[in-house]
Structure 1
């Protein structure tokens, strides 16, 4: 088994070697590249059974390398990036190990790709998938809100923005419903919250409600130029106002 490791941090590389040795013993060879330039040279000259890749290398992101060279083997990404990027990987069925990862995390990623590849179900990275991953990385690197601190009777909990389906105004605070249907109280006004959110992901459909595009399941016409929206995790269907419907339609097509 021949493996390419794309990792610019030596301690992380050594950790991967230890896990590979525990999993495969001496039954593997590998090359190590700390930059896209070196990685490209290896990929043009060699064939690999799979690739272990960090996202940020010494001379840029590895997505650019995979966009340039056709890769016909599984890629397991190992990185400290989370939030939007983690969701993008899951959506596209790509194995992703979030740093700091454990041996169990590593083994699960290896087993997933061995299973997919052996069954012929592995989908190669294409330009559309890479474009989605780059967009997710760009979103993650912006200054938009990533999580809210929720005060509860039993202590403090964190609500990740990527999990929010709907936000509703309720006096001087708001109620956020996540994609599993759980409700969380945010001690901010709707206007204040909206300013902190990514406008490509969240839209204020009326005076009191904000929806997330990732959890819209269905949209149906309603009277007076309004739209009823089915949201994941939300029982009642929020409705656009007559004045917001036109802008909402344009937002959906961005």
Structure 2
């Protein structure tokens, strides 16, 4: 068996590989690409039993690969996108693992590969479907995020964006802290999350934190042109960086 993994984040790739090794009793071969360019190079010379693919790669979205290279094997998508895109996947019967995923999520997707994808009834993904998914992705980008789907040990929970007080970068993922002080992991970069949020409500106060204006309780001056901010549900005060303080003051007055 040969598998192609398309994933730009190294920790996510390592997690996928570990789950694959745990699932399959026999050894398998795999290739790993972090970009569309590398993926096309692999697909030009190798045949695969199936592909595990993130949507966002280093040089663009993986849909662009599948739209230009004929793919005869099943694709299992792994991504943090939900709402429009998740509905588009579900409607078209495509295997989809929502980040942050668990070992059980991987197992269910691979079970589907073993049972359904290996039968004669499997139909390769068509260009029309790729165009539909790209359209859903564009629609998702033009709408501000309303909620995040959070995977926890007891199942899926929905976190409304309106309930988030602070979002903080934490290693290869982020933590969203709600107004009650509860923490929720989001498997995406702070930069990507910032683009999903309404800029009238959320401001990136420093390199690693985004604050919600509705939960600002108090602001006080600090040294080196910085501001200390008390947010609802957050025990410790957060701080603007020297470079963001001026823009933050203007943002408050919008």
State the Cα distance separating 1:72 from its structure 2 match: 0.2
Larger Cα-atom Rg? 1
Aligned pair in 2 of structure 1 residues 120, 57: CA closer, same or farther (>3 Å)? same
For residues 8-87 of structure 1, what are the structure 2 equivalents within 5 Å?
8-87=8-87
- Spell out structure 1 runs of 4+ moving beyond 3 A: 144-147, 157-160
For residues 87-126 of structure 1, what are the structure 2 equivalents within 5 Å?
87-126=87-126
User: Do 1:55 and 1:77's aligned partners in 2 also have CA atoms closer than 8 Å?
Assistant: yes
The separation in 2 between residues aligned to 1:139 and 1:112, in whole angstroms, is 28
Q: CA RMSD in A?
A: 2.1
State the Cα distance separating 1:63 from its structure 2 match: 0.2
The separation in 2 between residues aligned to 1:127 and 1:41, in whole angstroms, is 20
The separation in 2 between residues aligned to 1:106 and 1:142, in whole angstroms, is 30
The separation in 2 between residues aligned to 1:100 and 1:50, in whole angstroms, is 21
TM-score, normalising length: structure 1: 0.57
Give per-residue Cα distances to partners, 1:133-170, cap 9 Å, x unaligned.
001101111135635xxxxxxxxx8789xxxxxxxxxx
Unmatched 5+ stretches in structure 1: 148-156, 161-195, 197-254
Corresponding residue SS for 1:128: helix
The separation in 2 between residues aligned to 1:105 and 1:80, in whole angstroms, is 13
For residues 55-204 of structure 1, what are the structure 2 equivalents within 5 Å?
55-144=55-144, 146=146
**Which residue of 2 is the match for residue 233 of structure 1?**
none
User: Do 1:113 and 1:122's aligned partners in 2 also have CA atoms closer than 8 Å?
Assistant: no
Aligned pair in 2 of structure 1 residues 141, 28: CA closer, same or farther (>3 Å)? same
Unmatched 5+ stretches in structure 2: 148-157, 162-197, 199-254
Give per-residue Cα distances to partners, 1:49-76, cap 9 Å, x unaligned.
0000000000000000000000000000
The separation in 1 between residues aligned to 2:113 and 2:137, in whole angstroms, is 23
Number of residue pairs matched by the alignment? 153
